[in-house]
Structure 1
């Protein structure tokens, strides 16, 4: 049998190979071009998000500096790429959030205004201490978005340090604002590197409304970006700005005056930088010379009061006695007669001692007026005439960002009186101009609503004034952690805080405002168990966890009763652990509408000693 030869080609197999080759080439091209492009977009969007979170953190740090608040902020250091079935992603992008020490803020040839006291002048014109500061920076580690900036917080500003250009401003600085110089020294330690979300705590280490008026001198700010700061500050009135190595120099021009305000803010772990009150005490300034009680404020190098600092004093050359400053940083001496001289000191330098000649009490007191007429905030009208505003006799809460009008009146009515308005924090609320009172003694002023926060506002005229606490809470956000704002024991405190008749004392009460190893000592007195209280103001509606860190030294039980402004009991927490070590007690409270939350601490035995490390609502 004969067979024909088969000369046909393998067309199907060859076509399959060619088609497979095209698929491989297409997939390789997609992997090499499309995947990186899409991932670059993911990284860019994440960078925009993290910059927004850094803006929130910047706002919080500024609030800590100006108002003494604390809080916690989330920063998402990295992100994830979309999942791919046939293609490969690199490892998830990450980032690093860290503090870097910048150096020391230095002061040279400072001359203060003649209106400042002798000890303020002596300290600032002789030996102002340099203060150490750091910067907080976010450094992304992306696979594709190579032009991503390093985002840096420094001196209240948020800066984008671009790898292929000059630094750009993301959040404006407040270093020089009109006739105020605001210096925020950042301290603490943050070292976080991951692709997840981290929580960053912030707290005030030194803050107040104190200022020192300077009419001459140079301030040097250490920075990685001196050229940037020279450009930013070059157009500010009254100062000359120059770059000097790794510093920027701000020199006050002759004939100009500036109010210097300083603060120290802690971020992350502040264990190594949160020094004790005696270490912080730097100089004293007389505050009250009216018998029978005189006082001086003990201040730190930031011009802010120091609570719990030790001081010595003598009355008219008598024996040396000692005391500690109260929660407002005041060294108070009681029982002084008119004409006696009281010396209060914290050291041997000129600025560490003040002599106060006691004079007769001028009368009034208790909030009375020394002026010809009283100025009063009309809170009823403020609430009635504005939407989104609720008020009581001493405070108002604003819940939208529309412009408002605030009202005052005089008692008795004064026609044509000039009224001055001021805000403790212009980033929260600020005022327009006033035309003065009408024939009925009334005036109104436009209010601009800014950032969420709490501040005090002031109206003054004719040698008298009134203050009002204003809370801006647009969006009803509840802060991450709320610590006590006010305290009450048998030695004093605000009258609205229960109990009505306190017993015992709270030693170093402000130590309850942080979760470090310092504590407030609750102590019985005179054979009585302690019964003392705290107040946490402006608590928004919501469900909160109560947490108390404590130690029972005398192995005696204590209870903590939480109530609102109406007296309703919200929770009772027992402090009944007797191991004499630091432990935590918790509970839960429901807040229906914004209120002050009170906590009353009651011991069960007269030999009561309980240390409270912190009390917080979250």
Structure 2
């Protein structure tokens, strides 16, 4: 018997080989095309996540600069790829986050409005070293990933072709506010895990110092191009209501030294706000740079005392604690203590005591310094570390020796519902529940033609002042110079330290000159040496009220 050839088994083997070949080719194509595309997407998404985390770091630095509490921020330095059963992934990607030299920030030609502060801010060039915080990824596939860096309030992406682009806005200049935040310290982390960064305040505050000048400039070492800074600063051009002189012509980047120069409109007043923030290790403290007056003394009656408050500040205009400050009187009065130390707010409180008896008015000079001898004959108080206060001592009851025959005593401190840490502000001054704002309080402390603005908060006004060290006499007159088209809606109240009303005077009564204090108010001032004055809106609420006060003074004698 003959059998036919059976070729079916061979056909199955060929089919299996072909199928295996297709699988191998498919896996190869998957490994060479799909896996790289998916992993590149993973790297891109990770880079976006890092940029978001670095925006949080940037915001944390700025909050720390304002003395706000911040939380640590985690930055994922690297990423892992999805688990694959048959395909092969590269090792996890990594990255590095570290500080790098960032150059400096300079303020040029700025002079402080306050005379004592102007001993330091005297128009010279003030420069502050700063760091740059930079993240550099090491991806397997996303080869054009940017370097992301923070410097001078801006987070930006840097590319190999120098096409650096800002990710956030800038806060270096906003209206009349110049904001300098210097970064200090050494930080370096690398790998695949998350790195935690915690900004710490070295010199932080939300205070500002008023400065002006004819040619104020801001100079910043920068990686960004001129066109990018023009884009960031466009809303600060003078034509847009800002303070950059010449619009785009006032924004220049010099490539030779990578320096941005911003020219500001001349002869305007600017608010200078500065801070130093630390990251990592090697953070350096600031040191005392100048001494300024918070509460001074212009005149004191014989035998009276006057409170004097000074403040020790660093180069960022923020308080420095624990600094010894010596004091001495060039005259017949006394000063206590002769050596004081600045407290947590950088302040040192003294008490000047006037001589008991005088035949005529005389001047005493009080010298203060944290560096120079205060009893030397050539002491001028013109150095940044020194202050000299001249006090006129008035014979009690002998007003004829004062020009015009009148003794004026001006308010020392105030309390309103805004800010809470302005110069001369004291929350212990009545009222207990203030409403409204006293702006430019210093202008109430002398008849100089410049006004303090008393404005309502919503529809309420209830703000207060205190005048201390008032000489004892039998008659007092309160004199207020003001302008307001709604003065009929405001009362002036004389109160005691418990906020009990002793006398109410309509503000319009001061149109005819000083108003004599009644018996209750006179007894309180004479016995305590203190005058509390409240400005309070009367009648129903509604529209706002503004009172521009040139001076508030007590006529003694």
When residues 328 and 359 of structure 1 are mapped into structure 2, their CA distance, relative to the original with a 3 A threshold, is farther
Cα distance 1:321–1:462, how it changes in 2: closer, same or farther (>3 A)? same
- C-alpha distance in 2 between matches for 1:268 and 1:14: 66
Aligned to 2:93: 93
1:251 aligned partner: 263
Distance 1:327 1:168 in 2: 41
* Candidates 240, 251, 255, aligned match of 1:241: 251
Q: Which of 24-33 and 290-299 deviates more?
A: 290-299
Residue equivalent to 2:284: 273
Output the aligned Cα RMSD.
3.9
CA distance in structure 2 between the partners assigned to 1:304 and 1:322 by the alignment: 21
The structure with the greater share of residues assigned to helix is 2
Secondary structure, counterpart of 2:144 in structure 1 = coil
Deviates more, 1:123-132 or 1:54-63: 123-132
Structure with bigger gyration radius? 2
- Hey, what's the Cα distance between the residues in 1 that align with 2:133 and 2:273? 21
> What residue number does 1:36 align with?
36
Alignment of 1:426-437 (within 5 A): none
Q: CA deviation at 1:183?
A: 1.1
Q: Using a 3 Å threshold, how does the CA distance of structure 1 residues 411 and 20 change in structure 2: closer, same or farther?
A: closer
Q: For 1:154-169, what aligned pairs fall within 5 Å after superposition? A: 154-163=151-160, 166-169=163-166
Give 1:187 deviation, angstroms.
1.1
Distance 1:329 1:460 in 2: 34
Correspondence for 2:390 among 357, 360, 371: 357
Name the CA shift for 1:172/1:111 in 2 (closer, same or farther; >3 Å): closer
Aligned mates of 2:71, 2:432 — CA distance in 1: 35
Deviation string, structure 1 residues 26-71 (Cα, Å, up to 9, x no partner)? 1011011111111122222222222222222222111111235343
Aligned partner of 2:191 in structure 1 is 194
1:96 alignment partner, SS class: strand
d(CA) in 2 for partners of 1:352 and 1:460?
Answer: 39
Instruction: Report the TM-score, using the length of structure 1 for normalisation.
Output: 0.57
How many angstroms apart in 2 are the aligned matches of 1:268 and 1:12?
69
Task: State the match for 1:488 in structure 2.
Answer: none
Query: Which residue pairs with 1:214 in the alignment?
Result: 212
Q: Does 1:62 align with 2:62?
A: yes
Structure 2 CA distance for aligned equivalents of residues 14 and 308 of structure 1 = 91
Matching residue of 2:478: none
Partner of 2:295: 288
1:592-607 matches, cutoff 5 A: none
Conserved 8 A contact 1:289-1:359: no
Residue 42 of structure 1 aligns to a residue in which SS?
A: helix
Q: What secondary structure is seen at the aligned counterpart in 1 of 2:384?
A: helix
1:410–1:442 contact (8 Å) kept in structure 2 = no
Give the direction of change, closer, same or farther, for the CA distance of 1:336–1:205 in structure 2 (3 Å limit): farther
Provide the TM-score with structure 2 as the length reference. Answer: 0.63
Indicate the larger mover: 159-168 or 350-359: 159-168
Deviations 1:294-331 (A, max 9, x none): 12221111122212223222223689943321111113
Deviation at 1:346, TM superposition (A): 2.6
3-state SS of paired residue (2:167): strand
Q: Which has the higher contact order (CA 8 A, sep 6+)?
A: 2
Q: Displacement of 1:176 after TM fit?
A: 1.1
In structure 1, the residue corresponding to 2:272 is in which secondary structure? Answer: strand
Distance 2:8 2:314 in 1: 99
Task: Say if 1:250 and 1:411 are closer, same or farther in 2 by CA, change over 3 A.
Answer: closer
Aligned residue pairs: how many?
A: 400
Matched with 2:402 is none
Q: Aligned partners of 1:439 and 1:321: how far apart in 2?
A: 47
- Structure 1 residue 142: deviation in Å? 1.7
Find out whether 1:179 has 2:143 as its counterpart.
Answer: no
Query: Given the superposition, is the C-alpha separation of residues 461 and 149 from structure 1 closer, same or farther in structure 2, using an over 3 Å criterion?
Result: farther
Alpha carbons 1:217, 1:252 under 8 Å: kept: yes
Q: Secondary structure at the match of 1:347?
A: coil
Label 1:173 to 1:98 Cα distance change in 2 as closer, same or farther (>3 A): same
Shift of the alpha carbon at 1:235? Answer: 5.2
Q: Contact conserved, 1:374 with 1:410, CA < 8 A, in 2?
A: no
What is the match of residue 447 of structure 2? Answer: none
Task: Call closer, same or farther: CA 1:36–1:302 in 2, change over 3 Å.
Answer: same
Distance in structure 1 (CA, Å) of the matches to 2:485 and 2:433 = 15
Q: Could you tell which deviates more after superposition, 165-174 or 73-82?
A: 165-174
SS at structure 2 position matched to 1:192: strand
C-alpha displacement of 1:191: 0.6
Q: Distance in 1 between matches of 2:261 and 2:488?
A: 39
Q: CA deviation at 1:152?
A: 1.5
Alpha-carbon distance, 1:111 to partner = 4.1
Q: Work out whether 1:334 is the aligned partner of 2:351.
A: yes
Instruction: Determine if contact 1:337/1:358 at 8 Å carries over to the other structure.
Output: no
Tell me the equivalent position of 1:106.
Answer: 106
CA distance in 1 between partners of 2:182 and 2:11 (Å): 78
What is the match of residue 52 of structure 1?
52
User: Which string of whole-angstrom CA distances, capped at 9 and with x for unpartnered residues, describes residues 498-553 of structure 1?
Assistant: xxxxxxxxxxxxxxxxxxxxxxxxxxxxxxxxxxxxxxxxxxxxxxxxxxxxxxxx
Alignment gaps of 5+ in structure 1: 380-404, 420-436, 446-458, 465-618
Match of 1:313 among 315, 327, 336: 327
SS in 2 for 1:60: helix
Structure 2 segments unaligned to the other structure (5+ residues): 245-249, 298-304, 356-362, 373-381, 394-407, 417-423, 437-455, 464-483, 490-535, 551-557
